[in-house]
Structure 1
């Protein structure tokens, strides 16, 4: 925080939902990700992240960049193939199988869509400030329905989602607040579009639920700002581990830094890069 000149405004802590959640989940991971220079080596890329990144890229092109006459199945198939990447898969066969599987997933999601539908925004950055933090994030899609904005987020993970997931998501709530501030429109509804099951998990926020999420974001931001201040003052390794302690859990096997964190490895060994793909593909891999 900036206290150089008396009477000057307090410096706001700038963060995205991902940054806040990284601090809340594991402070050592936060330190490795945002503070250490050079950054400690990460593990190999994840195959499920490759799937998600390509799917998001194709849907962003479909809704945000292609004119309506181009929004055809053939164009989607061509874009999926040209955008596909090999990172994280066990071998070329698994990669090719998931390219086709992901293509079918996107085509199924778009099957009943109106090619002439134009969302209000695609890959739009929204932001707002509180007394203590400047919070921003990029929304996959913002729809306009019945004079209200709807926050849409694409999901490609293997676990089906529920309205509780949508309502409890810190990121989605912050997107609502950011969209209200940037676009000056009413916005309460959030939707998680789960492509593997072609289902939508939706929730409607009210002032109370949004205030709850804002308080949570501010609380995490305050703690992260205080920890970063300590970091920039200079810490010994022991002090750094005290300010940014590891928080071992079964999720440690999925951490990018699992291979260099002994506490995490004791709880959960590092996962294979393709382990995040769904169970049927894991069975095939065996």
Structure 2
């Protein structure tokens, strides 16, 4: 939806992308909010959650050592970029001031969450829930839901954390579509429409809620089927168009993008020209040389 050519670069070409400070901060904050619920309700306090940030960062760095490049002194970061990863047994030096500032930003986001929700009164049914559902068409959907709450009455609330700011109303549809995607999967799996979709924007301190109806999810399903049809046709033809937007400035693939004078890598799949659409019987009769012209023509 954002850019067909970017979809190709990521999904088909699998071009590498550099980790970003913002995305990594989001991963870190999500991990803290998920693990906080391992503690008894009475111990889920803001100071405790803030104190978890540094430990979760160390855990994340152990899993993905390449993230150290985000906080390396500039000259060492350049060397790592040119020569690949650090030599075996040698860890990249970190810019401690930059890292401390970044961890402080993550702590602030975690602390703000406590002004929006009270975790001492929440007992999520699921956290970081991997969901997979197959539509009647055969299209398989997969996703990971940040949190699922189930009320004593059985009503379901889907919650998603966003570490950025709430978008302006004219740009809110993309985030809401993501939530409808999750709701559609749970509806197909459980047979009931979730009661509420809730987006928690930690960057701006906003909570956006939406109560979907069955018609909303049917509309999301139709949109997904149309998207998959477009993806299938582009996969066969190799015709992936760039869609310039304000997000292009953050794209890692400008060197390969025609919009920036770049050339995409050779298409790795076999191009399958689409057959012409079959003509209807009426059109065949009309265009047949054996058919006499109609009177008066």
Aligned partners of 2:104 and 2:175: how far apart in 1?
33
Match of 2:50 among 50, 53, 77: 77
**Structure 1 residue 139, shift from structure 2 partner:** 0.5
Distance 1:105 1:161, change over 3 A: farther
Distance 1:211 1:123, change over 3 A: same
Instruction: Mark the structure with the bigger radius of gyration.
Output: 2
Query: Match for residue 210 of structure 1?
Result: 217
Contact 1:190 1:204 in 2 (8 A): yes
Query: Match for residue 265 of structure 2?
Result: none
Contact 1:167 1:205 in 2 (8 A): no
Quick check: 1:51 aligned with 2:47? Answer: no
Query: Match for residue 110 of structure 1?
Result: 114
Distance 1:54 1:47, change over 3 A: same
Secondary structure at the aligned position of 2:172 is classed as helix
Match of 2:128 among 112, 117, 123: 123
Quick check: 1:135 aligned with 2:110? Answer: no
Distance 1:187 1:107, change over 3 A: same
TM-score with structure 1 setting the length: 0.69
CA RMSD of aligned residues (A): 2.8
Match of 2:188 among 164, 178, 181: 181
Match of 2:15 among 22, 36, 40: 40
Distance 1:166 1:252, change over 3 A: closer
Mark the runs of 5 or more structure 1 residues left unpaired by the alignment. 1-23, 231-238, 267-286
Distance 1:159 1:221, change over 3 A: same
> 1:137-156 maps to which residues of 2 (within 5 A)?
137-145=143-151, 146-156=153-163
Aligned partners of 2:155 and 2:170: how far apart in 1?
19
- Higher RCO (CA < 8 A, seq sep 6+): 1
Distance 1:170 1:47, change over 3 A: same
Quick check: 1:96 aligned with 2:114? Answer: no
Secondary structure at the aligned position of 1:175 is classed as helix
Which stretches of structure 1, 4 residues or longer, exceed 6 Å deviation after superposition?
none
Aligned partners of 2:231 and 2:3: how far apart in 1?
11
Contact 1:165 1:201 in 2 (8 A): no
Contact 1:50 1:88 in 2 (8 A): no
**Structure 1 residue 75, shift from structure 2 partner:** 3.4
TM-score with structure 2 setting the length: 0.67
Aligned partners of 2:25 and 2:134: how far apart in 1?
33
